[in-house]
Structure 1
Amino acid sequence: MEHAGIILAGGASRRMQAAGHGAGPGGIDKALLPLAGRPMIAHVVERLGCVRAISANGDPERFRSFGLPVLPDRLPDGTPDRPGPLAGVLAGMDWAAAQGFARIVTASADTPFLPRDLAARLLAAGGPVAMATHEGRDHPTLAAWDVSLREPLRRALAEGVRRPAVWAEEQGARRVAFFGGDPFFNVNTPEDLAEAERRARLPG
């Protein structure tokens, strides 16, 4: 296999924490919140279908049941705190390159209804970066990336770049449009989690 799926599970979950959910004292990671009887990240792993690792900081033991490597951020000296999802993309690129993969496909852990053909369509688009779009909105954490971009990305993070869509665009990103419903619905709040639970229990 020439590509590896990487789940980005490094979000701070601030809105969940404010409501008593999410990472932090008395809470758990948003990725591990129960959805239809399983951790939310399990839905993403199943739908992406090519997952080889999870990008996350903190204690890796919390993901032990998935049997996947857990990749912490490894940032250049002097990089400011909270560099965002691009740090997870870099961690995935570095790990994948060491394993002999040419590309990675990333998906955030809070998108439990992503299309099952996401990876195949992004990879088929070619180019150094291919990112998903829906109704004119870019979703740069749902993207395929050439691992050859890891050194440019490392430099960009050291220089303070934080916006995945902007950096992807600078690398010549191709856009892959998805249609129908809200395939990239993401869970940020307790209300979102309740809606996700409703959707997860719909037939089909």
Structure 2
Amino acid sequence: MSAPKPLGIILAGGLATRMGGGTGQQLDKGRLPLGGSTLLDHVIARLAPQVGAMALNANGDASRFADTDLPVLPDSIDGFAGPLAGVLAGLDWAAVQGATHVISAAADTPFFPHDLAQRLMDTARAESTPIALAATLDPKRGAMRQPTFGLWPVSLRDDLRAALNGGLRKVVLWTDQHGAALAPYAPDPFDPFFNVNTPDDLAQAELYLKDMS
């Protein structure tokens, strides 16, 4: 009997400042159009087959995501605490569901690998670590960590909560404390973790999508 799939948390709580968002202005980057749908639609379609269930981490009025039929989980840490706050929201949700692990994915990264969850789980198992992060292999800089794409154990949620309440915000500072393993991917033909931060990035994503069709 195979082990149950991890749950998935889509991180959509960023401020999108390079897209024109920020304090006082709501901009859901995942709602930007891409190939006749949206960035978020692409992320949902890629993550859904890899996990047992999904939720969306986003702050503000949850009803704006009603069309996704996903639970919307706000940060439980005051202020903008970054992606780790979204991971914590996912872990708390997963604990209620009786799950042991969560896979995170960013709402602005539409081309991440179809085997992400399995690769992360296999990597964590092989290296006997509680956390695994995806990485892109760069010919000059080596493995470049992708901190919004990871495998996170529910058992560390209280440790993460304490770290966030203590002021920690940088993902890799916390993951390094727990010896996180890396699951590297080579660009083929482009970085699968290419994310949309600017209007130019969105135009580039349209070109990538066209090349993939």
TM-score w.r.t. length of structure 2? 0.87
Match of 1:12 in 2: 15
The CA deviation at 1:66 is 1.2
Distance 1:162 1:183 in 2: 25
Report matched runs for 1:63-142 at 5 Å.
63-75=65-77, 81-126=79-124, 127-135=129-137, 136-142=143-149
Aligned to 2:211: 202
Task: Spell out the pairing of 1:21-100 with structure 2 (5 A cutoff).
Answer: 25=25, 28-49=27-48, 50=51, 51-75=53-77, 81-100=79-98
Instruction: Report what 2:168 is aligned to.
Output: 161
Runs of 4 or more, structure 1, over 4 Å off, are 22-25
Unpaired runs of 5+ in structure 2?
138-142
Q: Alignment partner for residue 144 of structure 1, among 143, 151, 164?
A: 151
What percent identity do the matched residue pairs reach?
A: 48
| Aligned residue in 1 for 2:140 | none
Letter in 2 for 1:3: P
Structure 2: distance between partners of 1:14 and 1:112: 19
Q: CA RMSD in A?
A: 1.7
1:13·1:23 contact (CA, 8 Å) conserved in 2? no
Output one character per residue of 1:143-191: Cα deviation in whole Å (capped at 9) or x when no partner: 0000111000000001100001121111110111111221100000000
Letter in 1 for 2:109: T
Aligned pair count reads 196
Structure 1: 5+ residue stretches without partners: none
Distance 1:203 1:88, change over 3 A: closer
TM-score, normalised via structure 1 length? 0.91
Match of 2:194 in 1: 185
Report the 3-state secondary structure (helix = DSSP H, G, I; strand = E; otherwise coil) of the residue aligned with 2:168. coil
